[in-house]
Amino acid sequence: MDKRTIIVLVLTMAMLFVFQTYFMPKQAPEQPQTQTQPAPQGEAPKPAPKTDAAPKATGTPPPSPVASQSADKKVTRTFAVSTPYLDVTLTDLGGGISSVKLKNYKATVKGSEEKEIIESVKPYLYNPTVHQNGAFDRTSFTSDKAGLTVKDSPASITMTGTLENGTKLKKTYTFHPDSYTIDLSVEVEASKAQGVQADFAVISDKNESSYVFKGPFVFNGKSLKQIDSIKETLSFDRNYRYTGFDQGFFTFIYIPSEDAKPALFIGKTDKNIPYIRLAPAANKFAGKLYFGPKKTDILASLNVNAEKVIDFGWFDIIAKPLVWLLDFFNRFTHNYGIDIILLTILIKIIFHPLSVMSFKNMAKMQAVQPEIKKLQEKYKNDKARLNQELMQIYKSRGVNPMSGCLPMLPQIPVFFALYKALSGAIELRHAPFLWWINDLSAPEDLFSFTVMGYTIPIRLLPLIMGVTQVIQQKMTPTSTDPMQQKMMMFMPIVFTFIFWGFPSGLVLYWLVYNVASIAQQYYINKKMKVAR
């Protein structure tokens, strides 16, 4: 293996290390870690970023959420709503949604609890409210029903609250038996003199470090804008089709009614927790709320291009076809671990001609190493002449010094694309493979032990992968340079260390790729030996 190949390996290792260090912080717990604190009052709006999804700011934002004022009023009654898809809890405090659980998804791979998108102890999450110094936040609402079970047809529940001055707020929630959506209608009965206007405050989960983007987004009808950094309040006016919060495998989406679309503001509280504010032009507005998985067919059924929410970043163009292929294989195998193996073999077959060319060239490079060493000794003080002579040898022997890197190059974008898919594709969440691998989207958990207060996990796949790396290395033509040989000895150890915290599905991909490369190298070596 020549110096250029060594350089590519080292760069690949460095990329993986940097990616793990800066883009793979410790995964946040499944349960939201939301804190609901007030944002600064009277904050002036700032222009949103100049992108298709972020028009120039217009209008004046309503007051920021006054969430901390929940302390002077406690929830005294809740109202349970059950649909085939959702378990929803409404609260008399502000008449808002205090909990949403997804019946078809579990919170943890080993538990039986339903996945909770809104945590019941945080009643201000996704709570449509009227702001008159937070008055309706602290008002007890009544309900026209004690609870609701939705089976065959849509059903509604109406929450009503009244201020001391007689101003009334009415929220009507309509639930569906065949959807993750909730229709919401908000109406304020107030005179112009009172100056009360309905607006909708949504406070996100605190954006902890995680594998994928989590935070607010806006879709303007053409492109989706993920807002990962909020320095000042952003105003989008009414230039959007929908907005919401990405939660990794799940999402919340608000789709406003086009005939009374409220102005959109996105900001953050003084605790750096992002929020969405919707300020309608009149004292009433309506829209659709979606609480559910980021699954293409389900989001597409909303008919607003909501599937755009599924965004794998820079590697989106590669990750989405990979997920499609995995889904295709899964129709027959019903096991995503097997699907990853099939996908890896397919990738290896596609790039087989490239690998054959590379291996042959590496063998040629090994054959000319003695001549190269002589030239390096002869022209050690004349770099220009050395390069000239090396190029002459490469040309006469038909050697391309860079071709040894070719098989590694396709792996890099596919690797990162598959990583993004494993971290954000709902299909792979809690997907099992073997008896001890019960979640391909998370690191393997064979067993662990504690030393001096530190828990050390033991993972089998990275260890096997490291062994295959050693075997593959032994079968590959290598440089005669002792220094390079020593460097290559440590590569399997370094790669094993880097892959230790990766999702097991990604380690499985690299492991199978190594095994396929070993089989391929054995076949090529045997074929080349026969040819000689």
Range 46-309 has CATH code 3.50.50.60: no
Do residues 386 and 375 make contact, with C-beta atoms less than 8 angstroms apart?
yes
- How far is residue 509 from each of residues 340, 341, 512, measured CA to CA in Å? 6, 7, 5
pTM, rounded to two decimals? 0.78
> How far apart are alpha carbons 216 and 323 in whole angstroms?
24
Low-confidence stretches of the chain (pLDDT < 50) are 1-3, 5-6, 20-59, 66-72, 120-133, 207-209
> How far apart are alpha carbons 293 and 302 in whole angstroms?
13
Instruction: Quote the pLDDT of residue 201.
Output: 61
Residue 63, classed as helix, strand or coil, is coil
> How far apart are alpha carbons 319 and 416 in whole angstroms?
8
> How far apart are alpha carbons 482 and 454 in whole angstroms?
38
Instruction: Quote the pLDDT of residue 209.
Output: 46
Q: pLDDT tens digit string along 196-208?
A: 555 556 666 554 4
Instruction: Quote the pLDDT of residue 42.
Output: 36
Instruction: Quote the pLDDT of residue 80.
Output: 96
> How far apart are alpha carbons 486 and 500 in whole angstroms?
23
Select from 128, 132, 134, 144 the least CA-distant residue to 95.
128
Instruction: Quote the pLDDT of residue 69.
Output: 42
Instruction: Quote the pLDDT of residue 67.
Output: 45
Q: E-strand spans in 269-311?
A: 274-279, 284-293
Do residues 387 and 440 make contact, with C-beta atoms less than 8 angstroms apart?
no
The strand pair at 147-149 and 78-82 is best described as parallel
Q: pLDDT tens digit string along 480-526?
A: 556 666 777 788 888 899 899 889 999 999 999 999 989 988 887 77
Q: pLDDT tens digit string along 386-439?
A: 888 888 888 887 777 666 666 667 778 888 888 888 888 898 999 999 888 999
Instruction: Quote the pLDDT of residue 29.
Output: 38
Q: Give CA angle at 363 (362, 365), nearest 5°.
A: 60
Q: pLDDT tens digit string along 38-47?
A: 333 334 344 4
CATH 2.70.98.90 in the chain, residue ranges: 46-309
